[in-house]
Structure 1
Amino acid sequence: MVSNPRTFWLVLVTAVAAFSAAAAAGPVLSLGAVAAGVAAGSLVHAGALIRLALRVHHGRGSFGPCRGAGFLGMGALFTGVGVAAAGAAALTPSIAAPGRVAAVTTLVAAPTFLLGLLLLPGTAPTVRARLRRLLDGAGIGVTLCYSVWVLATAPAASTLAGPLPLTVAVTCCVAVSVAVVTGLRAVRHRPAALGCAGGAALSIVGLGVFTVLLSALDGPGDLFGPASGRICAGLAAAGLALLAGPFLILTGARRADDAPSSPHAADSDGTLAGYPLLIGPALLAVAVSVLHLLTGGRFDRTAIGLGFAAVVAVALREALAARDIRRYARTLATREAHFKTLVAGSTDVTVVLDAELIVRWQSPAAARQFSLSDQDVLGRPFVGLLHPADAGPATGALHAVLAGEQHVLVQARLRDGFGRWRDTESTVSDQRAAPEVAGVVVHVRDVGDRAQLQRSLDEVTWTDEQTGLANRRKFLAAVTEARGTTTAGSVLLVELDRFESVADLHGPTVANAVLIEAARRLRTAVGRDDLPARLGGAGFGVLTGASLVHAFALATRLATALAEPFHLPGHTVHLAADVGVADLFGASDGSSGASGLSGASGFSGPSGLSGVSGLSGAFDLGAEGVLRHADIARRRARQVARGREGGRVECYDRSFEAALVRRTDMEQQLPGIVGRGELDLVYQPVVELAQRRPVGVEALLRWRHPRLGVVPPQEFLPVAEELGLADELAEWALHQACRQLSRWRADGRDLWMSVNASARQLAAAGWLATVATAVDTHCVPAESLIIEVAEASLPDDAGAVEQLAGLRALGVRTAIDHFGTGPTALAHLRRLPVDVLKIDQVLFSEPAGQRAPATPIVDVVVSLARRLGIDVIACGLETESHVDVVRAAGCQLGQGYLLSRPDHAEHVEAFLERHRTRLF
């Protein structure tokens, strides 16, 4: 079986060489070689085609797809057997008329090929389509035969003497025409159909030539006549055609057996399909007839018969085409009636536009739904019917449909017949390719009720029910819109401080009244174009178009207004407001100072508002980002104002965000800090200034975090107090300091240890017990422990005096740290049971730019402390002049970087050892 193209070409070249050699050797050998080669090739390909048909039948369980390949295989089989029989008849003297055998072979094989070709999948799927192919081919073939017969009557009569050769010639011509038409009009598998059609045409042409050549022979002796050379060449050509035809048929049949392909441009059933194939042959026949008549020729019975057959074929084809047209027209009429029924009963308005978006047709529903007559609409641009504000987007959507975009939805207001604007929603589809429509179809729906409902819902969903202000959703939408339509603006975030306690103390009714009054004050204070909103809880927001400078002034007015007492029936509520301000389009890094707000820097009003940070380096951010910046500034304002009456105003600075991130990290990392072993104590010696001899050590707490680094206590202890971890950290520091003091005293070092405590710890009920436990656990003398409390955090009340007295009762000494930086007056020292006064550097350092000595101030403090029996330690000694000043005032103890820096226990031990060695 020759199935590979390379093998086929090799066989074909070999056949050409063999036929040429046979022709050179003689006509007898040439005829034998052609007959043998064609018979072998046809039988091999016939077997392959029949096996292909059987495989398709078994694979699909149906005779339909396999019939085409089966009949094509039978055609190849008839060809091989017939050519072999005709060749044997021509070479055998006892057998006469080899042309009759060849003619019978042609008359049997040609219809078989055509039947297989028409039954191939995808060529002609219906009986009507097959009939059209046959009529088209018959019309073309008979017309061409007629034209040839009329133009060459004498040669035709000599060559085609007798009805059988003429029948063979007409059959071959018609069969070839049908094969060509079938291949060109295949619905699916077009390349495969063309291959099969070409192979069938080659086989039929080869059989025709073979039949004509053998019909011209009266017997084997004619092979040696004067025309033997032409006979040999014709036999070789016919043999090559008969070899190539089955191969092309087999190749096409195999490709037609593949997965189904998409339909070709031809109609699936052949209705109105096509190519004007009959026009050319028909015009040729007419021209030949006219020329024959003009030259005085006469038509014989063969020409008349051929012409009549051609007319009948053409008439039948046109009658069938007319029937198809009538059926198609009825189908169109049915579809049109169905369409009109659907459109007439639909509540949607259907409008058809041309490529210029001009209205060419509208459905009757337009009069019912929008009171629009055809005179009002037809011939006008569709966008001319829309609201001017909606015409631009609608035009863009329509042009997008013209450009090929699918599923376009247009929402616009349309003017009805009474001049009112109606909310509509339209779907647009491009139907210009459909001949029944040939335009852009717009389906218009009235959505006025839905739009009104949506607007009503928006009024509800965009308004805070409790205060009547805009809610967070409306505020965010307004911020987003402002960022897209303006070039300047600010956002203010306001939080009522201590609002949670109002509901706890006075109940939810009073709390709601406070919120309503606060909303009223916001409306009164903001400008007409500003948008106040409630963002949730006790948080409010204001969107203003003012620049940051004017926004800061507005924030100050808001804080002042909200700091006024809320006089309610039976209650008076005092609150404060923390306000954060952020630019609508960016924020600063604080590197360029006040950036136009220096006049407001350090502001102090009735509400205790103060401070604003520098602003520069704007960058883009979204609506949520703007609110986040304002909230960071508000949280910064709350931190700065903590412990003070009134609120504070702050503008966003990038440094605030960095500090907030660091604080958040500390809040996350502080729990479990003791268990992780990240806390540490460093120690700074306190020395006797005359001899520089260490007499005591202060324990300083440090947090050594692997990522945050060394965090000082003034940074993380406030966070620990908010988290409720301060007592745990203080207890750890107290026990660690006592443990270290016990070791040093065990080594013979007569030292005392001071440990810092906060005012909150001092006021705690269990603090005295904690101190007593630490002293007893580590076996240290109570008098060797000093508890230090910073002056700025020392409460001036009876509770503080009682706690300090309790420590003294335990034998533990107490100290006031950083004396001179807080509000404690000298007269209060008389009633505070303290043992040590640690004066701050501000009392003995010379003020910058002044030459007045600080000694008189230190003299007063030291003299008063000596009279009260209080020891004085000068803290912050950094220069020898500091030492001279405090010693001149009578202060004997000192602490500072000049004497020794805070360090770990082993380094402090080395310091103690050096000084003890040097002194003793």
Structure 2
Amino acid sequence: MVTNRRTFWLVLVTAAAALGAAAVRGPVLGLFAVALAATAGSLVHATALIRLALRIHHGRRNFGPCRGAGFLGMGALFTGAGVAATGLCALVGPATAPGLVAAGTTLVAAPTFLLGLLLLPGTAPTVGARLRRLLDGLGIGVSLFYCVWILVLTDARSALSGPLPLAVSLSCCVAVAVAVVTGLRAVRHRPAALSCSSGSALSIVGLGGFGLLLLDHGGAAGTPWPAASATATAGLVLTGLALVAGPFLVLAGAQRADDRPSQPHAADESGTFAGYPLLVGPALLAFGASAFRLLSGGPFDGTAVWLGVSAFGALVLREYLAARDIRRYARTLATREAHFRTLVAGSTDVAIVLDADLVVRWQSPAAARQFGLSDQDVLGRSLTDLLHPADAAPAAEALRAVLAGRQHVLVQARLRDGFGRWRETESTVSDQRSTPEVGGLVVHVRDVGDRAQLQRTLDEVTWTDDQTSLANRRKFLASVAEAHSTGLGGSVLVLELERFESVADLHGPTVANAVLIEAARRLRASVDRDDLPARLTTAAFAVLTEAPLVHAFALATRLATALAEPFHLPGHTVHLAADVGVADLRGAGTAEEVLRHADVARRRARQLSRGRDGGRVECYDKSFEAALVRRTEIEQQLPGVVERGELDLVFQPVVDLTLRTPVGAEALLRWRHPRLGPIPPAEFLPVAEQLGLADEIGEWTLHQACRQLSLWHRDGRDLWMSVNASARQLAADSWLAAVATAVDTHCVPAEAIVIEVSEAALPDDVLAVEQLAGLRALGTRTAIDHFGTGPTALAHLRRLPIDVLKIDQALFNEPAGHCGPATPIIDVVVGLAKRLGIDVIAAGLETESHVDVVRAAGCRLGQGFLLSRPDHAEHVEAYLERHRTRLL
């Protein structure tokens, strides 16, 4: 920027001129050079500031935002003009004239700088805030000057004892304090405010110091300036630098300040609630200086008394304003609370505040009026305890969706009122945990019993769904109850269109309605003439058929295939799928129970079909319900498992089969739930991947394994550690960075880490090669686990960048008593691995015959229950103590 270059050269000119003048013993010329440089710098930046103010005024069509830059520019202009006049007086005027001009300029420019700083956008938005900044600065400045006066200047009787030097010194001290307080207490754009305040303070200090030096020269001593000391000359250099740098900082800050209006908090506007500590330190310092002066027997002159009274008055007035602001803010809060209570008390909706555990913390007075629920009945209880058991789980799921960040959730559930009756309710939920005054979920509950009753009345009039012309839920349940009562048998099919919710979001409600109508048409075309298709909910359908379970399964497969066909609509093509659950009519006691059995089978089908194209069909089994409940509990308990410290690692050594000494270990993940007990990884890791928690759990496992390996290396155990990775982790872009971070964090050799990937979980060849090669580039080693159970051909091993091959037990498991030579397949695998330079580990060794088979095939490393079972680190360490370890 041009201004920056000008300022740079002005600083150089100032320093060179002043030091050069001092070197040739011509202080008058040095004074004139300093004045010239300071004048040029001030006038250049004053012009830029005034132009900035005019540009803001033309853009905003308002004098408000431009006043700060304008007054700052006027302050710089006064500074430049005053310094210029001082320099001229030094050349042609009497000895006292330069000091008087500089002092007068200080008394005019300092208030102008402060006025511009207080009017700058973002520093003090209200008149009250500006008054508080002034009082804070006045109290601090006067208190500090008071301390200096009574401790130093009173006895020294320097040139500052005169009225004019005293006024200049005090004004500079107060102005600098106000500038510093204003910059530090800026409501917004604090870096810009700090730049302006520091520039204003430098300008004021430079100008004041300039005047005091000249007043000291032309004072009582009457010493002509050419005989002034080298200290005075150095002072002129410093004041010149301050006068040049100050306007530059003011301009830099003013250009960064945003003039757009804002709505800061009331406490920020007034500065009251953060203002108390500002005056405490200076006041205590002044009190301590007074006590020291009194104890040392020193007198207090009139100036000291006047300064002390001024500081005390500023402190009293500031505290009065603070107390008034606190009372006003308290009245504002009380008014808002009363207004809120009035609105809540008059509302027909019931407002309930829940914490993160869905426990009721507050309810509005309308709860007693609308539902007869007192605070004793509700507060401290989980909201789901107040709901119908059939509606509690879906409601809790919806509330947790809000906690997870989902918006616009509508909860429909039956609520037990204070008289024990079930009331139909509809609730909207908003997450207000980030609002300090609320700190929870806000649930607005409405009684929709009249509307539900009206809907039931309409259903009694018609048994047909208006949108699809299929039978509605009431008709279907009545038909199922009738067929169940005859005892002739039959089946119920329940299906739901997956991803239907996204159709309305992406294509609009018109396309969604067309999809439902087409789905209903395909449903009617696929069932027999005696079957009854029905629509249960928005995207859920059902079919009642007289066919037995086997034929019903074939019908369900036909329906899933039909609904998986693309929906070709005008301008749109929609791809959906439907999972189908089948239940036998004679396997339940009521129609509702039959429907529930079919829905449980559908949910089981949906769990098993995730990640597949098309739908899946499942017949109801009693074990499904227990598995569904357990999976639901795992889904609920798995989030936060790392923070709760429920995960654990066990380690299984890898042994040299010839020497029977351990050379490495495999880290195996375990989840020990306090209520569900031990949960194997095969059960909770797929759930973790669906919930998006696999990366977090994988990184925890990696770090814990590296940490344990680091401890073993520190104890002198030269081992390597293998860590399992899923296909999802291996395909993630962040996995390589996570491995590198873990290795660096725990200071373990990269080659001592082996990343294992199951053969069945390997991604496509290209991605597998890229990721495995990336791991190799980090220095870590790679391994394929359970080789022999997946689709990987032996020829593929040439293309895969792997270091270790873990062969599965299926390749060497022999009938009991067999101790003959190795089977041909393991010979081929081990031989090929050796030619490729790949180490082979036989996993799953359980008998000595297994060891004989793999050793005969040339495999020298093994792992299994025969050698050592997986155990915690301390038990594995005891095992290691009994064996010598060496690197693979």
* TM band (smaller chain): 0.5 to 0.7
Task: Give the corresponding residue for 2:149.
Answer: 149
Q: CA–CA distance in 2 between the matches of 1:49 and 1:311?
A: 37
Task: Give the corresponding residue for 1:867.
Answer: none
State how many pairs are aligned: 528
Mapping for residues 866-881 of structure 1, pairs under 5 Å? none
Q: Is the 8 A contact 1:90 1:214 kept in 2?
A: no
Q: How far apart are residue 342 of structure 1 and its match?
A: 0.9
- Cα deviation, 1:652-706, whole Å, max 9, x if unaligned, reads xxxxxxxxxxxxxxxxxxxxxxxxxxxxxxxxxxxxxxxxxxxxxxxxxxxxxxx
Q: Is the 8 A contact 1:202 1:241 kept in 2?
A: yes
Q: Is the 8 A contact 1:585 1:621 kept in 2?
A: no
Mapping for residues 48-127 of structure 1, pairs under 5 Å? 48-92=48-92, 94-127=94-127
Task: Give the corresponding residue for 2:494.
Answer: 479
SS at match of 1:461: coil
Mapping for residues 119-518 of structure 1, pairs under 5 Å? 119-154=119-154, 157-218=157-218, 221-225=223-227, 228-256=229-257, 258=258, 260=260, 267=267, 269-270=269-270, 272=272, 274-275=274-275, 276-354=277-355, 356-402=357-403, 405-457=406-458, 460-462=463-465, 470=476, 479-481=494-496
Query: Which deviates more from structure 2 when the two are superposed, residues 447-456 or residues 304-313?
Result: 447-456
Counterpart code for 1:175: A
Q: CA–CA distance in 1 between the matches of 2:447 and 2:524?
A: 44
Counterpart code for 1:59: G
Change beyond 3 A, Cα 1:19–1:492:
closer
- Cα deviation, 1:621-657, whole Å, max 9, x if unaligned, reads 99998899xxxxxxxxxxxxxxxxxxxxxxxxxxxxx
Q: Is the 8 A contact 1:205 1:241 kept in 2?
A: yes
Q: CA–CA distance in 2 between the matches of 1:285 and 1:149?
A: 10
Mapping for residues 587-626 of structure 1, pairs under 5 Å? none
Q: Which runs of 5+ in 2 are unaligned?
A: 481-489, 500-520, 537-541, 563-605, 618-888
SS at match of 1:444: strand
Q: How far apart are residue 355 of structure 1 and its match?
A: 5.1
Mapping for residues 541-556 of structure 1, pairs under 5 Å? 542-543=544-545, 546-548=548-550
Q: Is the 8 A contact 1:585 1:620 kept in 2?
A: no
Counterpart code for 1:209: G
Q: Is the 8 A contact 1:123 1:183 kept in 2?
A: yes
Q: Is the 8 A contact 1:192 1:253 kept in 2?
A: yes
Give RMSD over aligned pairs: 4.3
Q: How far apart are residue 377 of structure 1 and its match?
A: 1.8
Change beyond 3 A, Cα 1:93–1:109:
closer
Change beyond 3 A, Cα 1:479–1:318:
same
Task: Give the corresponding residue for 1:827.
Answer: none
Q: Is the 8 A contact 2:129 2:270 kept in 1?
A: yes
Q: Is the 8 A contact 1:180 1:201 kept in 2?
A: yes
Q: Is the 8 A contact 1:429 1:442 kept in 2?
A: yes
Task: Give the corresponding residue for 1:908.
Answer: none
Q: Is the 8 A contact 1:414 1:422 kept in 2?
A: yes
- Cα deviation, 1:195-251, whole Å, max 9, x if unaligned, reads 2212111100111211221111127844344x6111111111100110011111122
Q: Is the 8 A contact 2:545 2:552 kept in 1?
A: no
Q: Give the greater-gyration-radius structure (CA).
A: 1
Task: Give the corresponding residue for 1:24.
Answer: 23
Q: CA–CA distance in 2 between the matches of 1:377 and 1:467?
A: 33
Q: How far apart are residue 29 of structure 1 and its match?
A: 2.4
Q: How far apart are residue 3 of structure 1 and its match?
A: 4.5
Q: Is the 8 A contact 2:32 2:90 kept in 1?
A: no
Change beyond 3 A, Cα 1:168–1:94:
closer
SS at match of 2:157: helix
Task: Give the corresponding residue for 1:15.
Answer: 14
Q: How far apart are residue 306 of structure 1 and its match?
A: 1.3
Q: Is the 8 A contact 2:609 2:616 kept in 1?
A: no
Change beyond 3 A, Cα 1:453–1:105:
same
Counterpart code for 2:343: L
Q: How far apart are residue 96 of structure 1 and its match?
A: 2.5
Change beyond 3 A, Cα 1:168–1:361:
same
Task: Give the corresponding residue for 1:38.
Answer: 38
Q: Is the 8 A contact 1:414 1:423 kept in 2?
A: yes
Counterpart code for 2:8: W
SS at match of 1:412: strand
Change beyond 3 A, Cα 1:545–1:12:
farther
Q: CA–CA distance in 1 between the matches of 2:547 and 2:294?
A: 98
Q: Is the 8 A contact 1:38 1:242 kept in 2?
A: yes
Q: CA–CA distance in 2 between the matches of 1:309 and 1:621?
A: 78
Q: CA–CA distance in 2 between the matches of 1:126 and 1:544?
A: 81
Q: How far apart are residue 465 of structure 1 and its match?
A: 7.4
- Cα deviation, 1:586-631, whole Å, max 9, x if unaligned, reads 69xxxxxxxxxxxxxxxxxxxxxxxxxxxxxx99799998899xxx
Task: Give the corresponding residue for 1:743.
Answer: none
Mapping for residues 624-773 of structure 1, pairs under 5 Å? none
- Cα deviation, 1:266-307, whole Å, max 9, x if unaligned, reads 856325353532222223223333333343444332222112
Q: Is the 8 A contact 1:416 1:422 kept in 2?
A: yes
Counterpart code for 1:420: R
Q: Is the 8 A contact 1:117 1:179 kept in 2?
A: yes
Counterpart code for 1:279: V
Q: Is the 8 A contact 1:125 1:268 kept in 2?
A: no
- Cα deviation, 1:873-920, whole Å, max 9, x if unaligned, reads xxxxxxxxxxxxxxxxxxxxxxxxxxxxxxxxxxxxxxxxxxxxxxxx
Q: CA–CA distance in 2 between the matches of 1:477 and 1:136?
A: 80
- Cα deviation, 1:695-749, whole Å, max 9, x if unaligned, reads xxxxxxxxxxxxxxxxxxxxxxxxxxxxxxxxxxxxxxxxxxxxxxxxxxxxxxx
Q: How far apart are residue 438 of structure 1 and its match?
A: 4.4
Q: CA–CA distance in 1 between the matches of 2:548 and 2:23?
A: 108
SS at match of 2:269: coil
Counterpart code for 1:13: L
Q: CA–CA distance in 2 between the matches of 1:433 and 1:496?
A: 52
Q: CA–CA distance in 1 between the matches of 2:474 and 2:342?
A: 52
Q: Is the 8 A contact 1:187 1:266 kept in 2?
A: no
Q: How far apart are residue 433 of structure 1 and its match?
A: 4.5
Q: Identity rate of aligned residues, in percent?
A: 62
Q: Is the 8 A contact 2:561 2:614 kept in 1?
A: no
- Cα deviation, 1:16-45, whole Å, max 9, x if unaligned, reads 233322232232222111111111221222
Q: CA–CA distance in 1 between the matches of 2:116 and 2:525?
A: 90
Q: Is the 8 A contact 1:548 1:583 kept in 2?
A: no
Q: CA–CA distance in 1 between the matches of 2:160 and 2:498?
A: 94
- Cα deviation, 1:744-791, whole Å, max 9, x if unaligned, reads xxxxxxxxxxxxxxxxxxxxxxxxxxxxxxxxxxxxxxxxxxxxxxxx
Q: CA–CA distance in 2 between the matches of 1:243 and 1:136?
A: 28
Counterpart code for 1:387: H
Change beyond 3 A, Cα 1:102–1:448:
same
Q: CA–CA distance in 2 between the matches of 1:3 and 1:624?
A: 65
SS at match of 2:427: strand
Mapping for residues 839-878 of structure 1, pairs under 5 Å? none
- Cα deviation, 1:5-24, whole Å, max 9, x if unaligned, reads 34433432343233322232
Change beyond 3 A, Cα 1:627–1:212:
closer
SS at match of 1:269: helix
Counterpart code for 1:168: V
Counterpart code for 1:480: L
